[in-house]
Amino acid sequence: MTIEAPRRTRPSREYLEEQPTDWLSYYLRPYYCDATGRPVAMAPHHAEFWQWAWQIERGRPPVIAGKEREGIVSVWSREGAKSTSAEAAVTSLAARRKRKYALYVCSQQTQADDHVQNIGDMMTGVRIAEDYPLLADRAVGAYGPRSWRRSRLQSAIGFTVDALGLDTAMRGVKLGRERPDLIILDDIDDVTDSAYLTGQKRLRITRSLLPAGSGDTMVIAIQNLILRGGIFDRLVHGTAGFLQNAIVQGPIPALRDCVIEKVDGKDRITRGAPTWPQGQSVAVCQAYIDRYGEEAFRAECQHEVLLLSGLVHGKFSPGVHRWREELSYPRFTRMVGALDFGSEGETANESAGLVAGVLADGRLLLVAEFKENGTDIAVRQTQWMREQEMRWRGPGTIQWAGDGTEHLGIQLLRQPGAGGFNVTPSRMGGRDQASREARVRAVGRRLALDGAGRPGLMYVGELTKFVDEMESYKRAQPRFEGDRIQPNIIRRNDHIMSALEYLIELVDSGPGRPDPDQPQHNAVLW
């Protein structure tokens, strides 16, 4: 009596290997299916990643759009399946015998160890062990099966993956006669990295790590953009000097056209289009904000990373820049003011102003602020300007700067008696990218400490509106929004900060042609 073997009710290995989506959703089901067992649809950038990875063969790189691509740089959102995709790529290439030796590289050895352990979990899954039994088995040496350590997995299929931290020695990494033919760069940048540390990491990658690879090495570089000037920021901008033939994806935010507003006192996403609707919806993003806060969401999921060098972020500190109350005012060489004109109406944009004294060494002390709106705003702003001039020795004492293109500004200066104001229209009052960035950089230079540990800009304690705006301004100027040439400065209604930009421009450009009726630069007035 012949007993027939039960018919195979699941797809064959050969069939599944034809498409990455089928292979992943079957063999790595826990990672690529939802709670009901249905595959989670990929985003376009996921599909592009797997199109590249699935073409890897021994001896030749993938060809995408007619070009050989030996690497891919994937800058995706946090919780956008970055590391899962990299770990799954290692597992699939090992199972299908497309690679023999992989290095999983992170900034710290402990991070790399964790990723290798995740790969071990994928390689020993129930379904993958059925069709790829040698993948889940340990390699056998002269004294029996080799143990799997946190930092190294050696499979009987002839595949090895090592965990490597950039904080460890790595020159000439190889396994016997084998050199790595797959390198994964993940968690390379850290938000606290200095320019020096980034430079050290780049040297280790370009001088020790990449040269250790074989002539057939494929490179996967994957991380969210957390540091301007870091390794991944340079890869995105094409200034890293390596992986020049790689595919560059992103930066791809979790939400495009994202708007976050205060609703009942809480940060709420009021608009946004998910780049991965099935895996990172608006609801998922809102949950991230609820848990970690808006600032963390913008940095980790939106790539809104602040440019540290020469700009405002990290420099303004109320404790450092506040003028100590017990100190009297210093002797000023010049009084300057700046105006940001709004428009008439109770719900219109506010008008703002600042007054500062210039010290003999060129530093500034902000001594007065104005920020109001309303139907009679031109009259009130004019009155405030007059009060400040009388406070500092009469009409013409203060040299003002402002955006003279605003209708309200023209109206204000046409007020009866307004001719006593010495107002210079800003030459950098434009809305273009270059003008905005130049003004932001100027503010950053003033905030920075000099060689004696002193700030170039200070304020008296009663300027509470200035402090409130500065705190939001330093977080928002600028944000990175995918412009690979330069950061995209975000324009927002920081009225006092606009006045500050005009004021610093006025001081940095000098007083212009001397006016015998006006105070002179470097002339001690008090």
Using pLDDT thresholds of 50, 70 and 90, give the confidence band for residue 420: low
The 3-state DSSP class for residue 116 equals helix
What is the percentage of the chain residues whose pLDDT exceeds 90?
44
Quote the pLDDT of residue 514: 34
Asked whether 21 and 54 are in contact (CB, 8 A), the reply is no
Highest mean pLDDT among 8-17, 82-91, 260-269: 82-91
Owner of token pair 């209708």: 407
Using pLDDT thresholds of 50, 70 and 90, give the confidence band for residue 142: very low
Q: At what angle do helices 20-27 and 82-95 cross, to 10 degrees?
A: 100
Helix (H) or strand (E) holding 157: none
> Is 90 exceeded by the pLDDT of residue 524?
no
Please give the order of strands across the beta sheet that includes 247-249.
152-155, 159-165, 101-106, 182-186, 218-222, 71-74, 247-249
Task: Give the C-alpha separation, 146 to 144, whole Å.
Answer: 6
| Helices then strands, each counted (H, E), the chain | 18, 19
Distances (CA, A) of 45 to 231, 246, 406: 21, 15, 44
Query: 322, exposed or middle or buried, with CB in 10 Å at 0-12, 13-18, 19+?
Result: middle
The 3-state DSSP class for residue 110 equals helix
Quote the pLDDT of residue 56: 95
58-62, 352-356, 445-449: range with lowest mean pLDDT: 445-449
- Residues 151-208: pLDDT tens digits? 889 999 999 999 999 877 554 455 456 789 999 999 999 877 777 788 889 999 999 8
> Is 80 exceeded by the pLDDT of residue 416?
no
Owner of token pair 């920081």: 494
123-132, 267-276, 357-366, 438-447: range with lowest mean pLDDT: 438-447
15-29, 361-375, 399-413, 433-447: range with lowest mean pLDDT: 399-413
Using pLDDT thresholds of 50, 70 and 90, give the confidence band for residue 98: very high
Quote the pLDDT of residue 526: 33
Quote the pLDDT of residue 382: 86
Phi and psi dihedrals of 507, rounded to 5?
Answer: -65, -45
pTM: 0.62
What is the CB neighbour count within 10 angstroms for residue 141? Answer: 10
> Is 50 exceeded by the pLDDT of residue 485?
no
Instruction: Name the CA radius of gyration of the chain, rounded.
Output: 30
Task: Give the C-alpha separation, 433 to 442, whole Å.
Answer: 14
